[in-house]
Amino acid sequence: MLRKKPRYFVGWLLCFGLFFSAASGAWAVELQSPWKFVFSLQGPGRGMALPVALYVDKEKERYYVVDSTGNRILSFAEDGKFLQDFTAESSLEKPYDMARLKDGSLLVVEKGRNSLTKVDLKNKKTDPVVITYQGQDVFVDRLEVAGGKVYVLDRASGRILQLDEALKVTKSYAMPANTGWLADFKVVDKKIWALDQKKKQIYSYDENGRTTPPIQLAGLSFPVSLAVDQAGTFYVLDRHRDAVVVYGRNGEFKYRFLTKGHGRENLYFPKELLFDYQGRLCVVDEGNSRVMVFKR
């Protein structure tokens, strides 16, 4: 004669099965990352002191890494091979970000003199400019050049400003009401995508400065940088959790990858995130003094 199994035992099995299924699903999500390590940009000898930004030159197919403490910019070939470093004859003061203009000159954000400095490589001249808006100095943080236009993030006001060739402000993109603090922005397909660090949200501006409703992101601790691919997928760099977190168009969580450490699958206080001209994902890994490049 068969004994009946106690109800509490059956209930326990059911709970365990649900827990196991949920855990398995979570692991499946975690294992969906398609990104594989390709190489690191590290520089010659002792490498870089404090990499804080990366600029990708699509025309020249080169990478430029801003080394803030080293007061220099290092260039690398498309395969990650180091080419040379640039110090503007030792005149750079804590460079923080950079971009290249159509005429071949460089624009460098210098925290040391709070300037947006134009570097004429051909004539070896530098022209530091302190940007002002409405009678106040602009504390330039992040820099983007897209569609022949210059965009900067003003750390003081939280605004994104559009500049002309003379580095005069021509348009201001104010933060929407009830927002927190901008950490980063990217210009993709004529849209400005902004990352709100405090509220952990993403919103965008159109060409007329109108904003979309914010997209709420879950599972973040301290987001510092944003990248957007051609499919509209969001990639957010979490500095405190040393991870890249990926979200769908509506902010739905997809997966995360990389963890704290010093190996190929690790980050240590990362700083910036962006795509290169081949669609590879680049992560400025400040704590490990390198830039990591991944491909799908």
CA atoms within 13 A on the CB side of 100: 18
State the CB neighbour count (10 A cutoff) for residue 253: 14
Distance in angstroms (rounded) separating the CA atoms of residues 202 and 206? 14
Burial 87-103 (b: 16+ CB within 10 A, else e): ebeeebbbbbbbbbeee
Q: What is the pLDDT of residue 9?
A: 41
pLDDT tens, position by position, 141-165: 999 999 889 999 999 888 999 999 8
Q: Does 31 or 275 have the greater pLDDT score?
A: 275
| Tokens coding 147 | 């569609």
Closest C-alpha among 219, 221, 237, 228 to residue 273:
237
Q: What is the pLDDT of residue 72?
A: 95
Closest C-alpha among 63, 112, 67 to residue 83:
63
Say if residues 144 and 185 touch (Cβ distance below 8 Å): yes
Residue 283 binned pLDDT confidence (cut-offs 50, 70, 90): very high
Say if residues 252 and 258 touch (Cβ distance below 8 Å): no
Distance in angstroms (rounded) separating the CA atoms of residues 35 and 38? 9
Q: What is the pLDDT of residue 43?
A: 86
The CA-based dihedral angle spanning residues 71, 51, 99, 74, taken in that order and rounded to the nearest 10 degrees: 70
Mean pLDDT of 83-87: 93
Which stretch of DSSP H or E encloses residue 212? none
Residue 295 binned pLDDT confidence (cut-offs 50, 70, 90): very high
Mean pLDDT of 161-179: 90
Distance in angstroms (rounded) separating the CA atoms of residues 171 and 55? 24
Report the Cα 248 to chain-centroid distance in Å: 17
Residue 74 binned pLDDT confidence (cut-offs 50, 70, 90): very high
pLDDT tens, position by position, 6-38: 444 434 433 434 333 333 333 334 448 999 999
Q: Classify residue 61 as left (phi > 0), alpha (psi -120 to 50) or beta.
A: left
Q: What is the pLDDT of residue 123?
A: 83
Mean pLDDT over the full length of the chain: 88
Say if residues 71 and 97 touch (Cβ distance below 8 Å): no
Mean pLDDT of 27-55: 83
- Domains of the chain, CATH where assigned: 34-295 (2.120.10.30)
Q: What is the pLDDT of residue 118?
A: 95
Distance in angstroms (rounded) separating the CA atoms of residues 15 and 32? 26
Mean pLDDT of 126-135: 94
Q: What is the pLDDT of residue 201?
A: 96
Cα–Cα–Cα angle for 193, 104, 136, rounded to 5 degrees: 55
Mean pLDDT of 234-251: 97
Q: Reduced to 3 states, what is the DSSP secondary structure of residue 230?
A: coil
Q: Reduced to 3 states, what is the DSSP secondary structure of residue 7?
A: helix
Q: Reduced to 3 states, what is the DSSP secondary structure of residue 140?
A: strand
Distance in angstroms (rounded) separating the CA atoms of residues 260 and 280? 21
Residue 5 binned pLDDT confidence (cut-offs 50, 70, 90): very low
Residue 172 binned pLDDT confidence (cut-offs 50, 70, 90): very high
Residue 239 binned pLDDT confidence (cut-offs 50, 70, 90): very high
Name the one residue in this structure whose structure tokens are 């020249």: 60
